[in-house]
Amino acid sequence: METLTPTSTCSHTRVGLTTSKPTEFIDLTARIEALVADSGVDVGFVNIQTLHTTTAIVVNEGEPLLLGDFTALLEQAAPRDRRYRHDDLIARTVNITAEERVNGHAHCRALLLPSSACLNISAGTLMLGTWQRVFLVELDGPRVRHVSILIAGEGRR
Amino acid sequence: METLTPTSTCSHTRVGLTTSKPTEFIDLTARIEALVADSGVDVGFVNIQTLHTTTAIVVNEGEPLLLGDFTALLEQAAPRDRRYRHDDLIARTVNITAEERVNGHAHCRALLLPSSACLNISAGTLMLGTWQRVFLVELDGPRVRHVSILIAGEGRR
Amino acid sequence: METLTPTSTCSHTRVGLTTSKPTEFIDLTARIEALVADSGVDVGFVNIQTLHTTTAIVVNEGEPLLLGDFTALLEQAAPRDRRYRHDDLIARTVNITAEERVNGHAHCRALLLPSSACLNISAGTLMLGTWQRVFLVELDGPRVRHVSILIAGEGRR
């Protein structure tokens, strides 16, 4: 007869994905739930962090028309056609790359959204309400993007 | 003479509460501080996560007139009377329930606020500045709501 | 020959700093990276939390013109010259101090930004994308401010 003893676990995963639109909500929930199951963590948390400055991590409902409302809200908060100083490549002196994009609006939208989400794990399950889904929000796509996922807690292995 | 050795702790609590207004700031600070004290954690953190998509967890000052300013700001950012595609039940095809609410504005407000707050614990005390209070923000009340609270760290037991 | 065994680490640091402008982005990245290196944590996370209600912790690009765009966005979201009930010291009954500031706009701006950032650590390194920098955002300066930093995870010591 095997006796399981509690053990402390801490594991990191880097996930790559490709977005296809200027603004897009990529549902990461199934991936995160699979990583939580694989981790063997019983009680703990998962921290999902974007590695980019024109993306965000949000938790909300994944109803398609609602995602359209979110896109309209972000366009209202920081319109794409407004002039942003960040896009004035004559005035700018730093952080200029060969493939520089006109993306001041995307940085401003990212400022208003979280760059990470910390979610709890209980009884081996990612704590999410009925309608909660975890999204990488693309704000300046299409692009190749990376997300960093840390799972930590106590498990039974 | 007893010698206390450091131990790793990780505990989860689910808290239920009932809100009474469409927009409401429920102060969770005393509850969280009591859970931190009970946990025996000396150095660590607490992650407070809402389990709903029309609520938020924010940390700010609890002055009543300021909470009125916050309500006005949220109304300005995503007015209740604007048309949201999410509320068009003829066009919508998914996530429709018997008690469906007209709450596109509440989801949009939730998008602009965090769904969780991760706060530090040091010397057995929740780290909060003089004016900081932790609130569950109800954006589509009144409702029964649930909050997930994870406390982890090193304790002396 | 030495064999390193994994150990669980949890350490807290309180950092003080002085801001010099009403709105200011203070880059904390180098400080956080130094604390992560000192901690000996190999896989884990760092939670950076402000201890004030008129500041925020954000992760975005540190390009100076972009920081000007962010300041303009915050001024648009919650203008300094608008009337806030919080600043009506005749109507207010609580939380009034001798050095009370006219700062309803700063609280409202703080509501729209995170009060903490949880970032992952992998291979002993703070996970940050090419352009990501961590900022304390001063919204009601100049002031003396404090930030709470918790680092936890598994290390090799």
DSSP secondary structure letters along C41-106: EEEEEEEEEES-SSEEEEEE---HHHHHHHHHHHHHHS-TTS--GGG-TTT--SS--TT----HHH
Which structure tokens are listed for C92?
Answer: 């207010």
Q: Are C107 and C83 in contact (CB under 8 A)?
A: no
- pLDDT cut 90: percent of chain B above it: 83
Percent of chain A with pLDDT over 70: 95
Do B94 and A64 lie within an 8 Å CB cutoff?
yes
Question: Is residue A86 pLDDT above 90, yes or no?
Answer: yes
Chain A's closest residue to B12, CA to CA, is A122
Cross-strand pairs, C146? C16
DSSP C40: T
- For residue B115, list chain C residues with Cβ-Cβ distance below 8 A: none
**Stretch among A93-97, B46-50, B106-110, C112-116 having the lowest mean pLDDT:** A93-97
The minimal CB distance from B86 to the residues A58, A69, A128 is found for A69
CA dihedral C91, C97, C103, C108 (to 10 degrees): -80
Percent of chain B with pLDDT over 70: 95
- C12 vs A97: which has the higher pLDDT: C12
Nearest CA in chain B to C83: B69
Q: Within 10 Å of residue C65's Cβ, how many Cβ atoms?
A: 18
Look at C127 and A51 and tell me if their CB atoms are within 8 Å. Answer: yes
pLDDT at B137 over 90: yes
Question: B52 to chain C nearest CA, in Å?
Answer: 18
Residue of C nearest to A103 (CA): C66
Q: Do A77 and B78 touch (CB under 8 A)?
A: no
Cβ separation C112–B113 shorter than 8 A? yes
For residue A5, the model assigns a pLDDT of 60
Residue B70 CA to residue B83 CA, distance in Å, equals 22
Instruction: Name residue B6's beta-bridge partners.
Output: B156
Q: Which residues in chain C are closer than 8 Å to B154, comparing Cβ atoms?
A: 8, 10
Beta strands in B19-54 (DSSP E): 24-27, 41-50
pLDDT on residue A4:
57
Asked if C147 and C10 count as a contact pair (C-beta separation under 8 A), the reply is no
pLDDT-derived band at A8, boundaries 50, 70, 90: confident
DSSP element (H, E) containing C150: strand C144-156
* The pLDDT value given to residue B157: 57
Q: Which two tokens stand for residue B56?
A: 């938020």
**Is B5's pLDDT higher than 80?**
no
pLDDT tens-digit readout, A46-81: 999 999 999 999 999 999 999 999 999 999 999 999
Q: How confident is the model at residue A20 (pLDDT cuts 50, 70, 90)?
A: very high
Per-residue model confidence (pLDDT) at position B3: 52
Residues in C touching A85 (Cβ below 8 Å):
65-66, 68-69
For chain B, percent helix, then strand, then coil, each to nearest 5? 25, 40, 40
* Predicted pLDDT of residue B79: 97
* Whether the Cβ atoms of residue C137 and residue C67 lie closer than 8 Å to each other: no
Residue A124 DSSP one-character state? T
- Paired with C148 in beta bridges are C14, C49
Instruction: Say which of A45, A63, A131 has its CB closest to residue B92.
Output: A63
pLDDT at A136: 98
Instruction: Determine contact, residues B122/C148, Cβ cutoff 8 Å.
Output: yes
Give the C-alpha separation, A50 to A138, whole Å.
Answer: 10
The pLDDT value recorded for residue C2 is 54
Residue B26, beta-bridge partner list: B136
Give the pLDDT means over successive 10-residue stretches in chain C (157 positions): 69 98 98 97 97 98 97 98 93 85 96 98 98 98 98 86
> How many separate helices (H) and strands (E) can be counted in chain A?
3, 8
Scored b (16 or more CB within 10 A) or e, A2-38 reads eeeeeebbbbbbebeeebeebbbbbebbebbeebbee
Which chains would you list as touching B if contact means 3+ CB atom pairs under 8 Å? A, C
Neighbours of chain A (3+ CB pairs under 8 A): B, C
Q: Which residues of B touch C104 (CB under 8 A)?
A: 66, 69
Nearest to B106 by CA among B133, B134, B87: B87
Rounded Cα distance, A153 and B44, in Å: 12
- Shortest Cα–Cα distance, C10 to chain B (Å): 6
Predicted local distance difference test score (pLDDT) of residue C143: 96
Q: Measure CA of the first residue to CA of the last residue in chain B; give whole Å.
A: 14
Q: Min CA distance, B12 vs chain A (Å)?
A: 6
Cβ pairs bridging A and B (under 8 Å): 106
Please answer whether residues C139 and C20 qualify as being in contact, where contact means their C-beta atoms are separated by less than 8 angstroms.
no
Report pLDDT for C30.
Answer: 98
Q: Which of A83-97, B62-76, B104-118, C24-38 has the lowest mean pLDDT?
A: A83-97
* CA quadruple C10, A51, B104, A125: dihedral, nearest 10: -50
Whether C51 and B154 lie within 8 Å, measured CB to CB? no
- Which residue of chain A has the CA closest to B88? A65
pLDDT score recorded for residue B147 = 98
pLDDT, mean over chain A: 94
Q: Are B145 and B136 in contact (CB under 8 A)?
A: yes
* Tokens 């992952």, located at residue: C120
What span, in angstroms and rounded, lies between the C-alpha atoms of C106 and A132?
A: 30
Band of pLDDT at residue B114, cut at 50, 70 and 90: very high
Mean model confidence pLDDT for chain B: 94
How does DSSP assign B131-155, residue by residue? T-EEEEEESS-S-EEEEEEEEEEEE
Look at residues B104, C117, C6 and name the one whose alpha carbon lies nearest to residue A9: C6
Q: ipTM of the assembly?
A: 0.94
Give the number of C-alpha atoms closer than 13 A to the C-alpha of residue B50, restricted to the C-beta side.
29
Q: Which residues of B touch A153 (CB under 8 A)?
A: 10, 152
- Rounded to 5°, angle at Cα B32 from B155 and B116: 105
The reply to whether residue C53 touches residue B59, judged by beta carbons under 8 angstroms, is yes
Compute the distance between CA of residue B136 and CA of residue B148 in angstroms, rounded to an integer: 11
Q: Which residue has the tokens 């909060």?
A: B128
Which residue in the block uniquely carries the two structure tokens 């009543």?
Answer: B64
- Asked whether C140 and C103 are in contact (CB, 8 A), the reply is yes
Chains that touch C (3 or more CB pairs under 8 A): A, B
Residue type, B40: G
Instruction: Give the A-side interface with B, CB within 8 Å.
Output: 8, 43-45, 58-66, 68-70, 73, 77, 112-114, 117-122, 127-129, 131-132, 152-154
The residue among A93 and A76 whose pLDDT is bigger is A76
C149 to chain B: which residues are within 8 Å by CB?
Answer: 120
Residue C31 C-alpha, separation from nearest chain A C-alpha, in angstroms: 19
